[in-house]
Each structure stands twice: as structure tokens, then as C-alpha cells.
Structure 1
Amino acid sequence: MIFTKKIQFILHKLQKILVAYSGGLDSTVLLFNLVKLRKKYPYIKLRAIHINHNLNFYSKEWSKICFLKCQKWNIPIICKNIILNHKKGNIEEKARIERYKIFNNIIENNEIIVTAHHLDDQYETILLFLKRGSGPKGLSGISQTHIINKLRLFRPLLNISRKELLNYAMKNNLDWIEDQSNLNNKYDRNFLRNIILPHLHYRWPFFKKSVLKTSSICREQEELITDLLSSVMKKLIQYNNSLFFIPLHKYSIIKRNTIIRKWIEYNKCQMPSRKVLSIIWEEVVCSKSNFKSYVKISNYQIRKYNSCLYCIKNFFTLKNNIYKWINVLIPFILPNNLGKLIFLSKYKKNTLQIRKPKKKEIVFIKFYITGEYYFLNLKKKNKIHNIWNKLNIPIWERNNIPLLFYNNIFIAELQNNLVTIEGINNEKEENFIFWDKNFN
């Protein structure tokens, strides 16, 4: 078995494994060894996922080969297709984003994704990060264990070279798919692998070892920085994962940038360049507006509200959307995976006491409103903008909060139980409304 005893121990403890299987040399050796490990530990639940990126003429044939190989080794396999737009953006980055969307949709509870990244992948990745001008974090390379959102990843082959994998595959009579696109040097990694690295190794045979040593040093430095800043980060990061940035004004630029970068990493967002860090500070933090200025990083936005920075996923606004709740006895499924609304006859935690709609009243769910309304039990009406500010709700959240109306009467804003006087009465018959946000 190609796995070390330490790796075998980790893998058998995982029990539920989803293998990213392309059919190439690396993933074939990985899958073959996991099958052997399953024989040793029969309770391991092993599945495979093959994603056809439709970038090659033979990709459909490769999917069939992977399916038959898994059938031979008695491994359940899921085959998925993705179609990518070749015209705009980085095709490799687009493919990676689509892959993780699929992983998120099929992953089971307590299941971990195992990938076939090896030592040469690590080496090439470090050099590509160097080309991008990355700091110690990027030059630390690929970590053996990694969490992306809620996905857990493990890379058991990370300390094994491609040459070792090739020798192992040939010794065990394994067959695999050869992707001819690996010879296409328009892709940065292929250009590096096929053109640049052979010259470097010919001139400096020790070059790979030196790069990996540098990566190890960078990883240690990054861990030290994290440790030294941990007490500061605990004070600055708020309960909602926002960053209280007022104290950053008195720090040096280096310390300030490091804290913002660490906070962005904490929010599982892609690492920003030095230029992006500068823009975040000058155009977002130092902006007079709470609303207009923001910076996009991949599928996230860095925004400011009051004295905090927020790292939020790109969102689809429901502004001006109106929905009719025809039968309040049936839960109302909210759009945009926001959950559902439920009328209850008994109190439940986090519910709002509310009267039942009258016979001639139609129940509407609206997103975003203008005008003046009664706030709590105040006798004077307030502009809705001022009410949002008093509730301390950032602008990007306001358009996705369901607002309950009976005909044209504003009854409640459900996130913070903002009830208008029109919505309160002294009738004996009472109901409660509950926003179940975990439903999707």
C-alpha cells in the first residue's frame, strides 16, 4: 500500500469517504489504495465522484471508463456534467468553483472529500503563487487537511511524488486515462510543468527540494503570525464574524493589512492581493458612506456598516418582490433559500405574537418598502430608513428580510419583530409567526 501507516490510521478513522476520481494516474492510484484499505477495514463507506468538465472531445468516454472501473472495484460512483463559459475569465478557476458546488450538493453528513494532490502538485502550486506575488500564506502551499465552507478535504498523497505514483501504478498493472490537454501549454500549470521546470531541474537539481523547504518555513511563519495575533483577533472579530476596524487606525500598515487578511481568511474567502488590501482600506473603511463602497473578492464582497467590516457572499436581492400567502395554515416557502414562514397557535422560541388576518385581509410577503411606519409602541411614525438604522441592520440584509402585510397594513418585520401599531390589537384570538431559516 502506498499510504504510510499514519495516513492509513487517519483514513480508517474517517469512515465515510468521497473520492474525487478523474480517472488519471493520481486518482486511480488513490482509489486503488482506498479499495485495499476498505478490505482491511470493511466498515469504511467509500464513494466516488467523477465530474465531466466537457473540455475534451473524449470526456464522455472517460466518464464511461471511470464508471466501469468503479463497478469493477464495487464502488458507488456519481457522474456529473458541467458546462463552462470559455470566453470570459479563468477557465480553471471556473471549473474549481463548479466542482465545489457539486460537492456541496452531494456530500453526506460526516463524509470527507479525498483528493489525489501529490508532491509535484504542491511544488507547482507554490511557484504559481510566487508568480502572483503571494505572501507567506500562498507560499505555504497546499495543506493536507482543508475546510472550504462546510466541506472537509483530505489529501493523503501530498508527500508522494508523481514519479513514485507512476512506479506504483506500473508495478500493480493499473491502467489510467491520459489527458492530452496536459500538453496544452496555454494553461499556466502546464506551461510551468512542461517548459520551465525541466530547464530549472537541469540547471539546479536541488531546486524542488529548496522550494519545498521554503514552503515549510513560510508555513511555520504563518502559524507564528496567527498565534501572535490571536488575542487581538478575538477582540476585533464580532459575534457575526464582522471586523471592528476602529483600532486598526492606530496600527502600522503592515499590522493592519495582516489583521484584515487574517480576518478574510477566517471568513473562508480567497486571499486578497496587497493592492486589494489597500483598496479595502482606502475605499471601504475610509469611505464616508456605509452603503455604496465595497470590494469583490471571488464570490464574496467586503462591505462596511457602522464601525465594522463584513465579508459576505454575493447575494441576489429580492428588492420590490411581492408574494401572496394564500393559505396561512400552510407554511410559506420563501424565495432565495431564505427558509419558510409558519403560523403557530402556540408559542415557540423566537416566534412573534401576532393577530390572525381577518376574512377580507390578504396576506402579502414583501421585500423592501419605503414610507413612514410605527416602530414598536412609539406614537410617532418613523421613516423606514431610520427604523432599519435603529435596528442596526446592514443595507444588504434589508432587501432580503420578509415583511408581513395584511392588505396594505404593515404588520411586522420578521427578523427583529418590528411590529407596527396597526398590527397590534386586543383580540383574544392570538397567533404566533415563526421564521424557520434552516429550512431549504
Structure 2
Amino acid sequence: MYCNFFKKILQHIKWNKSYLLAFSGGLDSTVLLNILSKCINTSKEKLHKKTLKIRAIHINHGLHKQSSVWEKHCSLQCIKYQIPFKSIQISIKDFSGGLEAAARRARYQALFNNLKSSEILLTAHHQNDQIETFFLLLKRGSGPHGLSGMQLHTRYKKNNIFRPFLLFKKSDIKLYAVKNKLEWIEDSSNADIKYDRNFLRIKIIPVLLKRWPNLINSIANSMKLCYDQEQLLYECLQESLDHLILADGSLNFTEILHMSKIKRYFILRSWFSKNCMHMPSIKQITYIWKNIILSKIDAQSELKIEKKIVKRFKKNLYFVSDQLKSPKKEISLSVKEIFHTKKVYLPLDLGILFFKPIIFNEQLIKKLQYLKEKNFLTKNYENTLSFFLKNKFQRIQENIFYLKNRCITIVKYPHFYKNIFLKFKNTQNILYMRKSINKKLKHNSIPPWERSRIPLLFYDNNLISALSVFITPSGYTKKDNQAILLYWKKYKVIK
């Protein structure tokens, strides 16, 4: 049994990688911890240059009277195997969907918050968990996407997840633990059938397996077929999806107005998936179609799903955070401060603004033009670039270009100005070419909820640029003049 576990997991381990184990102290994660410790020893003994870095994290939900005892047990287990350990205490505030769902959301949020960019998250989900998930999703009326279940390797947002025990049944894992005399935590709440997953595990699945012993393998095959079908659909519609789902995460719905219902709904579900949202119900999809997409252009129809609100602006659909806020204070800087720090941390979740002095010469212009033609910016960034360049050898009017989550704006150097300001509020009262900034932003297709979150750059009282949107005549720079390159790196796309 040890060799079977060990060989299969070794085949999927990525050497010279770092892993973070979600360690509850229960049977499954205890066995995984034990096997990982043996993998580490093997890497030290036989692989020489190749190493395996593992650390463990325990999420203390604080829902059980034994929570602190379990935390201590997990700590001692990691000391025994010489694996770095960390415990996180969490509190559950959002109970929508029930306690199980709320605890899972809070747990994964804590795990992702503590996951380093170079790490892969390890969980101990096994084949029996997969079958329980299948029945829960079947109960909810999920389609092929949901019924495909968990995958061995998957990516959620920017996080990589590896579930090696999906290769094994619960009975195999327990047999390994008993033979190796491992100690694990038995959570008494796992016997409470008021929770759906426990009810399936205790009351339903054993009866089904008694009747059909091969049911686990059969369901696993069906889930694989669902997954393959979804992947095929994505491949067939990839060109349409890339065209309709924009870099900021919004969906242009113009073309789906003329599509069949099946294709239209698949694209809407794909939009949810691309934004890491749970699959919507038929009722929610129908509401979005009838009450938001088909509504009048000035209608205010919207739909709240999880912590996001589906909104429409012109011909696009957006996911907008239900807690979206706008900065209240302006940021005041001097030229000396800018070139000393070279960056400014913007308020709330707007990111960082970097400053770099440049000479706006013909060589730079040609480079930008080349990047535009090749739809390419850097080797490690796959998103296409779209910038606007007018009168390239005389006066630069809109030297702004974009890629997902980032924007670069080039404006004239603030030679003769004492102060530099970044403002966010009162856009109605600021005029640019006899129009309010608000109208100018609207004309540039900036949704209403984003307008007060666009940094407005001022030199003294002169408006220079609404970053990522436009540059005023006061901000123009000419060929061979000194200029400022402002690189706005957002923490996340404004939605």
C-alpha cells in the first residue's frame, strides 16, 4: 500500500516546487502529511539537486470546543515531521448558503491569503469526497461544468491547487493510516446528518455501494466525460469567448443577441467562470438575459450574486463588488518626492502608481508603434495591448496604452510646477474643454461606479490626465522633450 501511494504521488509531484498543505489534522490530511514527509526524505537521499519544500497550515474555525486541542495536535505532528507549521484563526461572518458553505468559503479565503505566489496548495480530497460532491451538485441541478467535479490539478484565480488523493478511495487511505499507526483527529460533527455531505456519506452512499459496488468508478468516469465535454465546448468557442470577454472582465453582449439560447447561455456561464464566480442557476441566467441585457439602455436593473452585482453599462455586462468604495482624500506630492520614492500607493484597492522620467523621442515612439502592431508587451504577459497614438511625430495627444490590470500614461515633465495632486472626487465640478470630467469619462465609456476611482493628475491647478482614459492639452509632450511615464499597476481589475 505504501509503495502504491508513494509511486502515484511521486509521478505528479513537481520537484523544485513549494507546496502549502491544508492540514486539518483529520485522517486524510494526516496521511498526506506522512507521505509528503517521506517524499521530502526521498528527495534528499536520491535526487540530490532536486528538493521539495513543504509547509503546513491549519485553519481554526473556532466552531468546536476542541478547536484549540486540534490546533495543538496539528502543531505537534508538524514538529514530528520537521515541517514548518502555521495556524490561522478565522471568524465566519457571511453565513449565506448554510454553515458548511460559509466555513468552506472562509477557509479557502484564508488559505489563498497565506499562499505565496511560488506555492501550490495541497488538499487531501479523495474519490469519496468527489462522489459526495457529485450528488450535492446533482441535487442543485448543476450542468456538465459543475458535475465534472474537482480536478487533480486546477487553477483558481492566480492560485494553483493539487489534490493527489483524488487518485485513491477513502478505504485505501484509512488502511494506510492503520498500517502505519498514524494518529489523527476524529471530528464528532462528521457524524451529524443534518449536514448534507454527512447525510450522503452516512445514509445514502453506503446503500448505493452495497447495491452497485463499482459505483465510485462509474461516477468518476461520468464526471470525466462531463469535464471533457466542457473542455471541448471551450475549445470550439474559444475565439468567440476571447472576443466577447474583455480584458477588464466585462462581457460585450452585442453578438449574443443573435445567438441560439443554448450558445448564449453557455457564453454567459463561461463569463461567470472567467471571473471565478460560481455557476449561476437557470433562474439567474434567465433574469440576466431578460431583465438586464434586454432592458432599455438607461435602465437600472441589476442582480446580486454572492458579493458581486451584475450591472449593465451600454453594451457590456460587469461584475461590480457590493462593497466598492471611492477614495475621499486627494494625494499631494512634490516633484522631489516623486523622484525620491518613484511610486505612490493609491488608496483602497486601486494599486500602485510608478513614476519614471523619460525622453519622448522617435526611438520610443517607434517602439510603441511596434508593440501596437505585434499586440505584444512583455514576454510574461499574454494580454493584448491597445493604445492610442495621434500625430506621432509632432504632438502626442493620447499616448496611453493598456494591458490587463495595468496602464501606462505618458505626460509632460512637471518642470515648473510646485505641486502634483491626485484627485478622485468632485468630477462633476471639474471642467475639461467646457465639459465636466464626468461627461468626458462617460464619453470614454467609463462605467458610473468607476468614475470616482480614476486618478485625476493635476500640476498645481492644471488638469493633466485622467489616468488610463485621456490626457488634456496641458499634459501633451512633444518629440524629444522630457516626459513622465506613469505606470499604474492595479491590485485587481476595477469591477
The TM-score by the shorter chain falls in which range? 0.7 to 0.9
- In structure 2, the residue corresponding to 1:109 is in which secondary structure? coil
> Partners in 2 of 1:110 and 1:341 — Cα distance?
24
* 11, 24, 27: which one aligns with 2:26: 24
Cα distance in 2 between the residues matched to 1:87 and 1:118: 26
In the other structure, the counterpart of 2:440 is 387
TM-score (norm 2): 0.78
Offset from partner CA, 1:158-201 (integer Å, 9 cap, x none): 02111111111000111100011111222211122122323333
Report the secondary structure of 2:486's partner residue: strand
Give the letter aligned to residue 352 of structure 2.
K
User: Which of 320, 323, 326 is equivalent to 2:330?
Assistant: 323
* CA positional deviation for 1:369: 1.7
CA distance in 1, matches of 2:258, 2:117: 45
Aligned amino acid, residue 122 of structure 2: V
Give the aligned residue type for 1:339.
Answer: G
1:264 and 1:419 map into 2 onto residues whose CA distance is 37
* Alpha-carbon distance change, 278 to 88 in structure 1, aligned in 2, over 3 angstroms: closer
Segment of structure 1 superposing worse, 390-399 or 81-90 = 81-90
Aligned pair in 2 of structure 1 residues 141, 105: CA closer, same or farther (>3 Å)?
A: closer
1:87 shift after superposition: 6.0
* Matching of residue 334 in structure 1 with residue 386 in structure 2: no
Supply the distance in 2 between the matched residues of 1:136 and 1:252 (Cα, whole angstroms).
19
Structure 2: distance between partners of 1:86 and 1:389: 35
User: Counterparts of 1:264-343 in structure 2 under 5 Å?
Assistant: 264-289=272-297, 292-318=300-326, 321-325=328-332, 327=334, 329-330=337-338, 331-341=343-353
2:121 and 2:321 map into 1 onto residues whose CA distance is 23
- Evaluate the alpha carbon distance shift between residue 208 and residue 241 of structure 1 in structure 2; reply closer, same or farther with a 3 A threshold: same
Give runs of aligned pairs for residues 70-85 of structure 1, distance below 5 A. 70-85=78-93
Q: Distance in 2 between matches of 1:263 and 1:86?
A: 24
Instruction: Read off the aligned partner of 2:185 and give its amino acid letter.
Output: I
**Cα shift at 1:430:** 7.3
Contact 1:3–1:156 (CA under 8 A) maintained in structure 2:
no
Given residue 168 of structure 2, which amino acid in structure 1 is its aligned partner?
I
Structure-2 change in CA distance of 1:71 and 1:291 (3 Å): farther
Structure 1 residues 44-53 or 2-11, which shifts more?
A: 2-11
TM-score, normalised with respect to structure 1: 0.87
Q: Which residues in structure 2 correspond to 1:129-168 (within 5 Å)? A: 129-168=137-176
For 2:330, the aligned partner's letter is Y
Correspondence 1:160-309 to 2 at 5 A: 160-289=168-297, 292-309=300-317
> What is the CA–CA distance in structure 1 between the aligned matches of 2:356 and 2:227, rounded to whole Å?
53
Matched, 1:353 2:353: no
CA distance in 2, matches of 1:226, 1:96: 28
Q: SS state of the match for residue 428, structure 2?
A: coil
Asked whether the 8 Å contact 2:358–2:485 carries over to 1, the reply is no
Cα drift, residue 202 of structure 1: 4.1
Which amino acid letter does the alignment assign opposite residue 289 of structure 2? W
Question: Are 1:140 and 1:215, in contact at CA under 8 Å, matched by a contact in 2?
Answer: yes
Deviating more after overlay: 66-75 vs 339-348: 339-348
Do the aligned partners of 2:456 and 2:465 also contact (CA within 8 Å) in 1?
yes
Q: State the SS of the aligned residue for 2:56.
A: strand
CA distance in 1, matches of 2:415, 2:251: 41
Contact 2:414 2:459 in 1 (8 A): no
CA distance in 1, matches of 2:303, 2:453: 20
Q: 1:286 Cα shift?
A: 1.3
1:367 paired to 2:425: yes
C-alpha distance in 1 between matches for 2:166 and 2:417: 65
Letter in structure 1 aligned against 2:424: K
Report the Cα offset of residue 264 of structure 1: 1.9
Structure 2 CA distance, aligned partners of 1:157 and 1:175? 18
Secondary structure of 1:158's match?
Answer: helix
Contact 2:59 2:89 in 1 (8 A): yes
Q: 2: distance between equivalents of 1:383 and 1:408? A: 15
In the alignment, what sits opposite 2:404?
none
Q: Please say if residues 290 and 304 of structure 1, whose CA atoms lie closer than 8 Å, have aligned partners that are also in contact.
A: no
Report the CA distance between 1:338 and its aligned residue: 1.7
Q: Which residue is 1:377 aligned to?
A: none
* Amino acid across the alignment from 1:257: Y
366 and 235 in structure 1: CA distance in 2 versus 1, 3 angstrom threshold: closer
Q: 1:323, 1:132 → 2: CA distance? A: 48
Contact 1:291 1:305 in 2 (8 A): no
8 Å Cα contact 2:456-2:466 kept in structure 1: yes
Amino acid at match of 2:43: Y
3-state secondary structure, aligned to 2:9: helix
Match of 1:112 in 2: 120
- Which residue of 467, 472, 475 corresponds with 1:414? 467
Aligned pair count reads: 430
State the distance in 1 between where 2:16 and 2:279 align: 29
1:327-383 Cα offsets, whole Å, 9 max, x none, are 551544211132234565545863322536755x68452335213612xxxxx4113
Long gaps (5+) in structure 1: 375-379
Q: Does the 8 Å contact 2:411/2:464 carry over to 1?
A: no
- The answer to whether the 8 Å contact 1:372/1:384 transfers is yes
Q: C-alpha separation between the residues in 2 aligned to 1:107 and 1:51?
A: 13
The residue type paired with residue 347 of structure 2 is: P
CA distance in 1, matches of 2:122, 2:136: 23
Match among 50, 54, 58 for residue 58 of structure 2: 50
Report SS of the residue matched to 2:165: coil
Counterpart position of 2:389: none
Task: Read off the aligned partner of 2:472 and give its amino acid letter.
Answer: V
Corresponding residue to 1:400 among 437, 440, 453: 453
**Given the superposition, is the C-alpha separation of residues 256 and 170 from structure 1 closer, same or farther in structure 2, using an over 3 Å criterion?**
same
Deviations 1:1-44 (A, max 9, x none): 35363531221436211111100000001111111111111310
Give the match's secondary structure for 2:160.
strand
Structure 2 residue ranges without an equivalent (≥5): 45-50, 361-407
CA RMSD, 1 decimal: 2.9
- Kept in 1, the 8 Å contact 2:121–2:161? The answer is yes
Query: How much has 1:401 moved relative to structure 2?
Result: 1.2
Are the structure 2 counterparts of residues 12 and 358 from structure 1 closer, same or farther at C-alpha, using a change threshold of 3 Å? closer
User: What's the secondary structure of 1:351's corresponding residue?
Assistant: strand
